Chains A and B, each alone.
Chain A
Amino acid sequence: MNRVQSEKTDEEIVLLVQRGDTEQFGELVERYEEKLLRYGRKFLSRREDIQDIVQDIFISTYQNIQNFDTLQRFSPWIYRIAHNAFVNRLKKNSYNPLILVDFDTLVSHPVYEDPAPLEREQKEMRVMIDRGLEELAPKYREILILHYLEDMSYKEISDILQIPGGTVGIRLKRAKEALKKVYETMNLHHE
């Protein structure tokens, strides 16, 4: 990758791909492959499955790239595709009945975004998430990953999960509480 290439934003690269410079898609794959593999590892444990799904995500991204509005941010868009792919795989693997409505999306909640967490707090949360995540419900697991590991804002999470902004706040709060409970139950301590 040359220096000029690396200075281009995701959206500029997408624009080039949309205009026919399909080689540029490789740059997007390079930028997002590791992130999506890491995201997938929080949902699934088999590496081969994750790699296959990540490949499918890039295939789907390429097929649908003309639908992307380059005035928006690319990152939430590709994470939306990834979210659908991993959730579909989870549903396939799970015997849980299909839940049609998430109850926290029924009414509005005040949209209050936490101020940017301190670096130390962010680090602490990342450690906690890494150690206690498997015990959490997927919907709590995912929102913690997006906010603390992928550094997404509430608005971006709202677009990825397609839920109201207020629901992001309330779900994140509940996810943190659930994570703390997991820690208490497992007798874990965080520094």
Chain B
Amino acid sequence: MNNHEPKKNIKEAILRKIETRELSMRPKLYFTLRIVSIAVLALAVLLISVFILNFILFSIRINSHEALLSFGPRGWSAFFHFFPWVPLLLDVVLVVALSRLLRHFRFGYKTPVLYLLGALIVATSLVGITVERGTHINERLLRQSDERGLPPPFGGMYGHARRNLPPGAGVCLCTVLSIEGNTLSVQDTKSTTTLKVLIPENSRRATTTGLVVGETIFVAGEVKDGVMQAFGIKKAEEGFPRP
């Protein structure tokens, strides 16, 4: 550094700017509004992420995909295959954005990043589960979407909440038409498509025991040439969601 360079008189320059009103203080209201805006934005992001998580859970429930979790490794694999990853990714982005917003507050930057993210994920999940299980908001929105449509983005979300997978996709909420030994004939509840389902011998997760004609079941398996090799069957119990 060249120490012979003339030193600027910063104090004089600043005071001159203040005197000529070239430089002025922002009013206290500006900072109050700024912090309120950040808080409102953070709250909005939190509510949106809770709503999306609630929608993810509803989407799994309405399609009976949670039943896949009781069908062993292949059921898990199918569950992850049908999982609504896009809303989940959006939710993760929102939670990360929320954690960045909270870093404007002292508690936000004083808390280690992973702990803050963990707390937000737990809080979002708990509230999301409570909304999904404890209220009928999703059913109401789905009904409205069916009857008269919903404005975006709700229309797009609830319009596609039921994932009408063809029986060939390997999962089906079906009505039992007939039972012959280890073979079932079933009809998809979402369409008139019928399907032949073969039950493997000695399977714990796929059995005809206790099934009766006319009953609604959730069945998962591999479909080949219009025949499903089932690896899991679950009876649609009381309260099991209907399409």
| A residues at B contact (CB < 8 Å) | 18, 22-23, 25-26, 29-30, 33, 41, 45-48, 51, 54-55, 58-59, 62-67, 101, 105-108, 158-159, 162-167
Contact = CB atoms under 8 A, between A and B. Distances in A.
A164 B110 contact: yes
B172 to A, nearest CB: 44
B28 to A, nearest CB: 5
B112 A166 contact: yes
Interface residues of B, number: 30
B49 to A, nearest CB: 19
A167 B14 contact: no
B14 A59 contact: yes
Interface string B1-35: 11101011011011101100001111110110000
Given A29-B10, A59-B14, A63-B23, A108 B1 contact: no
Given A25-B18, A105-B113, A106-B114, A55 B25 contact: no
Contacts of A26: 11, 14-15
24 contacts: A26-B11, A30-B11, A33-B11, A47-B3, A47-B5, A55-B8, A55-B10, A55-B13, A55-B14, A59-B23, A63-B25, A64-B25, A64-B26, A64-B31, A65-B25, A66-B26, A66-B31, A107-B114, A108-B112, A108-B115, A159-B106, A164-B112, A165-B110, A166-B112
Contacts of A108: 112, 115
Given A64-B26, A162-B103, A29 B14 contact: yes
Top 7 A-B pairs ranked by shortest CB distance? A162-B109, A67-B31, A29-B11, A66-B28, A108-B112, A106-B114, A51-B8
A26 to B, nearest CB: 5
Contacts of B114: 106-107
A85 to B, nearest CB: 14
Interface in B80-132: 103, 106, 109-115
A163 B108 CA distance: 9
B167 to A, nearest CB: 46
A51 B7 contact: yes
Nearest to A50: B1
B106 to A, nearest CB: 8
Given A22-B18, A106-B113, 8 more contacts: A23-B15, A33-B10, A41-B1, A46-B1, A51-B8, A59-B14, A105-B112, A106-B112
